[in-house]
Each structure stands twice: as structure tokens, then as C-alpha cells.
Amino acid sequence: MFKLVGRESFKVGKANCVISIDAVSGFAYEYTLEVNGKSLKKFSENQSKIMKTWILTVGENQTRVVLGKLVNLNTCIDSNQNSGIAYMYM
């Protein structure tokens, strides 16, 4: 048997996460998720300030591209037409 309420800590990559599940009334429950000590909403807001994310669909595959907004990319982009891989130099 497992507990329906309480706190559980786990990691996603290097991020420390905590999910808290509380009984509100009867069979209703409320949960909160913290990432690195911040609410999920606050963590997401902070990440969107420092990173730009795109989700690209190529054929049937989805790929996530993430760049730090503080990264200075040179205009030199070398693209290999045969492999579909682009190289960016920073």
C-alpha cells in the first residue's frame, strides 16, 4: 500500500524536485510541485527569462531546441545538406 498524501523528493537531471499532496476534503486532493525550492510557476518564469525554447517537428519526430538568451552566436553557421545537421559556432 502507498500513502496518498505527503511529500516526495526526486531529481530531474540536476534539478531537485518535491511534490506535496494534501487532502482538501473527502476524496479531493491538492498537489504542489517545487523545483529547486521554487514553485513550478516561478521556476518556469525564471527559465523563460534565461532560455529560448522551440519545439520542431521534422517528419514524425519532435525535437526540442533550447538556447540560452545570453549566448552570443556568431553568424557562422555551417550546414551539412546530406545529414540534416547544422553546426553553430559560439
Asked if residue 57 and residue 80 are part of one domain, the reply reads: yes
Q: Which H or E run includes 42?
A: helix 40-50
- Residue 4 in any domain: the answer is yes
Q: Is residue 30 pLDDT above 50, yes or no?
A: yes
- Residue 72 in any domain: the answer is yes
Q: Which residues contact 69 (CB under 8 A, 6 or more apart)?
A: 49, 50, 51, 52
- Residue 46 in any domain: the answer is no
| pLDDT at residue 75, rounded to an integer | 43
- Residue 23 in any domain: the answer is yes
Cell of 12: 530531474
Q: What is the pLDDT of residues 39-48, one digit of tens each?
A: 999 998 888 8
Asked if residue 31 and residue 1 are part of one domain, the reply reads: yes
Asked if residue 56 and residue 32 are part of one domain, the reply reads: no
Q: What is the pLDDT of residues 48-79, one digit of tens each?
A: 888 888 888 988 888 888 877 765 555 444 44
- Residue 44 in any domain: the answer is no
Q: 33-54 b/e with 16+ CB inside 10 Å = b?
A: ebbeeeeeeebeeeeeeeeeee
- Residue 22 in any domain: the answer is yes
| pLDDT at residue 80, rounded to an integer | 46
Asked if residue 30 and residue 64 are part of one domain, the reply reads: no
Domain that holds residue 29: 1-36
Domains of the chain: total: 2
Provide mean pLDDT across the span 8-15. Answer: 92
Residue 89 — φ and ψ, nearest 5°? -105, 135
Which tops the pLDDT comparison, 10 or 25?
10
- Residue 42 in any domain: the answer is no
CA distance 67 to 62: 17
